[in-house]
């Protein structure tokens, strides 16, 4: 019967040590998950800030460059002016030629 008491006592001690070890591991995992969740939240906040900055840059770029329609109008006017200049030059060459 002495061996039975030793075996039972050993199982109780192993159970207590196992429970303490399990609780310690669980606590460490909970802390790790909290840390990971906080990191994910920080990354999400940073992603939102970066998105806002990119949108601001897009607006800045779109606002500072000439739009295609305005560019086409100006280019057409410039070519008309050049055509007039070439016509005048051709007229002078024909008179003197």
Structural domain span for residue 10: 1-49
Q: pLDDT tens digits, residue range 65-93?
A: 778 888 999 999 999 999 999 888 888 77
Residue 37 belongs to some domain of the structure: yes
Residue 10 belongs to some domain of the structure: yes
Dihedral sign computed on CA atoms, order 62, 63, 64, 69: positive
Residue 14 belongs to some domain of the structure: yes
Residue 69 belongs to some domain of the structure: no
Residue 38 belongs to some domain of the structure: yes
Break the chain down into helix, strand, coil percent, rounded to 5: 95, 0, 5
Read off the tokens for 59.
């607006």
Residue 74 makes CB contacts below 8 A (sequence gap 6+) with: 66
Residue 82 belongs to some domain of the structure: no
Residue 56 belongs to some domain of the structure: no
Is the whole-model pTM more than 0.75?
Answer: no
Residue 21 belongs to some domain of the structure: yes
CA angle 74-92-73, nearest 5°? 5
The total of structural domains in the chain comes to 1
Q: pLDDT tens digits, residue range 12-21?
A: 999 999 999 9
């Amino acid at each position: 019967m002495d061996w039975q008491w030793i075996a039972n006592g050993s199982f109780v001690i192993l159970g207590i040590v196992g429970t303490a070890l399990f609780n310690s591991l669980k606590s460490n995992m909970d802390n790790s998950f909290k840390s990971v969740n906080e990191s994910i939240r920080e990354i999400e906040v940073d992603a939102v800030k970066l998105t806002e900055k990119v949108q601001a840059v897009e607006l800045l770029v779109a606002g500072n460059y000439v739009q295609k329609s305005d560019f086409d109008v100006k280019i057409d006017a410039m070519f008309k002016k050049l055509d007039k200049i070439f016509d005048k030059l051709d007229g002078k060459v024909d008179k003197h030629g």
